[in-house]
């Protein structure tokens, strides 16, 4: 059974979904015994998200030749089971996500790895998704050793 890496962001709509899909594509290419999933820390804040996944994420994946499986699943809220079932948990922006982990999942804030990938309020999709791609590539390189 493959080990799980869990990517977390606020709404499970944009950043974490890109990380999940990119990781799974690369892990498959490199025959790694890992699979990624992603979840939201505050799914209720995604009231302005239309459709199951961000158009920015869809476009960036398509540019990289990564096809999304149909039907595209909707965003999902993280559970304690998701957290405990993952071998590795990464939150996409510490300043944004540590407070949610602290209040909603108090056993987890210090057990999660944090990146510093801004949302659309502070970074363009190209900037944010390129940063995620660099970090996911680094993980793939690490896991291949």
| Sequence-distant (≥ 6) Cβ neighbours of residue 38 within 8 angstroms | 6, 7, 8, 9, 12, 16, 17, 19, 20
For the chain, the structural domain boundaries read 3-144
In this structure, what DSSP letter does residue 109 have? G
Q: pLDDT tens across 80-124, in order?
A: 999 999 999 999 999 999 999 999 999 999 999 999 999 999 999
What's the pLDDT score for residue 48?
85
Tens-place pLDDT, residues 54-67: 999 999 999 999 99
| Burial group, residue 124, by CB count within 10 angstroms (0-12, 13-18, 19+) | exposed
Q: Tell me: the pLDDT tens digits for 23-45?
A: 999 999 999 999 999 999 999 99
Which pTM value belongs to this model? 0.97
CATH architecture for segment(s) 3-144: 3-Layer(aba) Sandwich (3.40)
- C-alpha 61/C-alpha 64 separation (Å) is 5
Within 10 Å of residue 37's Cβ, how many Cβ atoms?
A: 18
């Amino acid at each position: 059974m493959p080990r799980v890496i869990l990517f977390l962001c606020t709404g499970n709509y944009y950043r974490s979904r890109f990380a999940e899909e990119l990781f799974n594509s690369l892990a498959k290419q490199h025959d790694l015994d890992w699979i990624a999933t992603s979840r939201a820390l505050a799914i209720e804040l995604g009231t302005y998200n239309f459709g199951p996944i961000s158009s920015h994420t869809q476009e960036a994946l398509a540019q990289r030749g990564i096809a999304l499986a149909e039907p595209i699943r909707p965003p999902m809220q993280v559970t304690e089971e998701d957290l405990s079932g993952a071998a590795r948990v990464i939150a996409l922006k510490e300043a944004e996500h540590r407070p949610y982990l602290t209040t909603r999942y108090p056993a987890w804030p210090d057990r999660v790895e944090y990146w510093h990938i801004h949302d659309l309020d502070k970074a363009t999709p190209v900037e944010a998704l390129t940063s995620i791609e660099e970090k996911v590539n680094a993980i793939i390189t690490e896991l291949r050793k």
